[in-house]
Amino acid sequence: MKGLLGGLFLFCVVYFAHGQLEISDGSSNEKSSKQKEYNTSGTAFFVAANWSQTNRELKPNGDLFGEALGKRADEKTLNTWSYFLGVRGEMKAGFFWEGGLAFLQNGESYSYNDPATDSSFIYKTTYTYVGMPLKINFAHGDVFRIYGGAGLLPQMFFGYKQHQQWSTPANGSSSNDITMKSGYNSFVLSAIASLGFELSIHKNWRIFAAPELRWQLNSTYLSQDAYIHKGRAYGVTFGLIRNL
């Protein structure tokens, strides 16, 4: 993943530098002509994928329902993928809105190993949502554009899955999957923010990449659950834009 992003970044830097040299060697008319080859305004559709390192804020749910975290205090991050299909619309002075449909994942992991008894217990928990992100962005540039934005992300709960693996000297290794569709908050709201770049590669086509943060604002669990759980995601979104 890091190699892919590094290669993409290097390609963009070389491409942009080459474009700048071509423009500087020509007249102002050539520069204007070069920029008109690319369409970066109006309405555009995009597809995107997001790789994130996800975790959670977890704490007892008050004195009435709350319980000690126990082994859950030792949970670590989990790498997840999310996917987006959306539309962009131009506003004024470099601003544009962005909305669409998203398939989102976040979660956490746990690992326990006891060398003394040669036993282990590992699990990976994933929470899946269908979301409708809405953002306001600001962009600067033409062929190469830097942009950033923020917004809200309403999410409908889609499913819970925990993949467990364990081993003991007596019984060897085994695994189990726990899946649920109910018992969780059906609606959560997240804040989302990103800062990245776009690069025109054809008249109506652009590629983009942007580090992105996603913070869940209300709990994954129901109001009477033992814990308050809020997902966190820190990653990179990249994709392809098609201008109309």
Q: What distance in Å separates the CA atoms of residue 60 and residue 225, rounded to the nearest whole number?
A: 9
- What burial letters (b/e) apply to 172-199, b meaning 16+ CB within 10 Å? eeeeeeeeeeeebbeebebebebebbbb
In this structure, the strands spanning 144-168 and 44-60 are: unpaired
pLDDT recorded at residue 35: 52
| DSSP string over 69-101 | -GGGGG-B-EEEEEEEEEEEEE-STTEEEEEEE
In angstroms, the CA 212 to CA 243 distance is 23
At residue 36, the pLDDT reads: 57
pTM of the model: 0.82
Domain edges within the chain: 37-243
Burial of 70 (0-12, 13-18, 19+ CB in 10 A): exposed
pLDDT at 8: 45
Cα 112 to Cα 90: distance, rounded to the nearest angstrom: 51
**CB contact at 8 A, 102 and 80:** no
9 conformational bin, left if phi > 0, alpha if psi -120 to 50, beta if neither = alpha
Tokens encoding 184: 């969780």
Query: What average pLDDT values come out for the chain (244 residues) when binned by 10 residues?
Result: 45 44 46 60 92 96 93 96 96 92 97 90 97 96 94 98 93 92 96 97 94 97 96 97 93
10 Å CB burial of residue 223 (0-12, 13-18, 19+) is: exposed
What would be the CATH architecture of the domain defined by 37-243?
A: Beta Barrel (2.40)
